[in-house]
Amino acid sequence: MAKVLSGAGLRGQVAGKTALSTVGVSGSGLTYRGYDVKDLAENCEFEEVAYLILKGKLPTQAELDNYKALLKRQRDLPNALKDVLERIPAEAHPMDVLRTGCSMLGNLEIEADFSQQDDITDRMLACFPSIICYWYKYSHEGTRIDVNTDDDSIGAHFLHMLHGKKPSALHEKVMHVSLILYAEHEFNASTFTARVCASTLSDMHSCIVGAIGSLRGPLHGGANEAAMDMIERFNNPEHAEKEMMGMLERKEKIMGFGHAIYSESDPRNAIIKQWSEKLSEEFGDSTLYDVSVRCEAVMKREKGLFCNADFFHASAYNFMGIPTKLFTPIFVMSRLTGWAGHVMEQRADNRIIRPSADYTGEDLRKVEAIEHRV
Ligand SMILES: CC(=O)SCCNC(=O)CCNC(=O)[C@H](O)C(C)(C)COP(=O)(O)OP(=O)(O)OC[C@H]1O[C@@H](n2cnc3c(N)ncnc32)[C@H](O)[C@@H]1OP(=O)(O)O
Ligand SMILES: O=C([O-])CC(=O)C(=O)O
């Protein structure tokens, strides 16, 4: 049964056009430029999907090799940006660090005109993992890491900087899958933020800074961190069930469940769930996975709600040794492709986005002299 898309939150209202993705269209679930996300996650690397979203087609082998080489060359950070990152305290949230990092980059490498939008986007794609890890390692361990790794992919580059060694083939593969799943999702809140900003003819960095701010919230990308905070409190599936029943009784919102558009399932969940299970086997302790499976069953039984893309990402990232507060920044590393793709689309056929509001305030009245006001 399709979800009724009406009411508050602009639900169900068409706010523009896109050729980038379809969400919740029956029979396909989620497609990027006509390709099923499942097909892409099974058969592609993240860089192929980034190319698809940003350049409009899947690359040939030669195009992919060139694209990866181009991204690899741009991993380094300007010293002025490193200086700024070194001043941000360890207690800061990495999403705020990324927001600041992106903004600083926009001061140092300005998008002077829209003909530069492809280069500007590729540069951000190449260096966002460096921004996250440079700050994380400096603020938490006092080390200035070399952000020029020779890793083949963005996911491996990120894990290498984080853990100080090259990731296993399994971990690199899961990063490809994860980044593909998070890459694009039509007019979600953060993408819409980017498009609104783009519609004023602002620069690419400003659009991405705004989108990072929107993604940060726990009702959107921040849900993967909130889900992790919850599941790590549960010792085993029985404990999880008992605690969840209490949360539901208290009418608490359970992060990682439900969706604004999907009615029965989020097609990304089955894919990341399967990889989380594989990682749990390699990890040698499946508690977090088993707890997650029980949470899924309880929510289905009690509320008819399903896991969205974020829920099993929590256990998957944890099994790869990724600190919880870096979960949503990984989402940014990926969704940057969708955001930039939408900014480019908006620019190509633009009218400033400016909806109207139903006024609920006072009728017209006169300003009272200050001595008569109460
Ligand atoms: C990658 C992503 O951004 S995916 C989304 C990540 N966000 C989360 O996981 C946060 C938790 N989920 C939610 O808050 C919501 O499901 C959203 C924000 C994703 C969608 O919001 P909406 O479209 O407004 O939800 P929807 O209309 O389906 O809600 C229907 C009912 O289910 C309830 N509900 C929805 N999700 C949840 C949840 N996770 N836990 C408990 N109850 C829920 C709502 O409170 C609502 O109940 P009500 O009618 O009594 O108020
Ligand atoms: O579409 C949405 O509302 C949220 C979402 O799943 C995403 O952005 O990936």
Spatial neighbors of 363 by CB under 8 A, at least 6 apart, are none
CA angle 246, 251, 252 (to 5 degrees): 80
| Token pair 């926009």: residue | 106
Atom number of ligand 1 nearest to Cα 9: 24
| pLDDT of 22 | 97
Task: Check pocket membership of 181 for ligand 2, CB cut-off 6 A.
Answer: no
Residues serving a catalytic function are 220, 259, 310
| pLDDT of 1 | 63
| pLDDT of 357 | 93
Distance CA(158)–CA(130), nearest Å, equals 7
| All domains of the chain in start order, with CATH | 21-216+325-348 (1.10.580.10), 224-319 (1.10.230.10)
Tell me the C-alpha to C-alpha distance, in Å, between residue 334 and each of 1, 129, 254: 31, 10, 24
Atom number of ligand 1 nearest to Cα 308: 4
Task: Check pocket membership of 260 for ligand 2, CB cut-off 6 A.
Answer: yes
Distance CA(218)–CA(212), nearest Å, equals 13
Q: Which of 318, 199, 186, 170 is nearest to 260 (CA)?
A: 186
| pLDDT of 28 | 72
Low-confidence ranges of the chain (pLDDT < 50): none
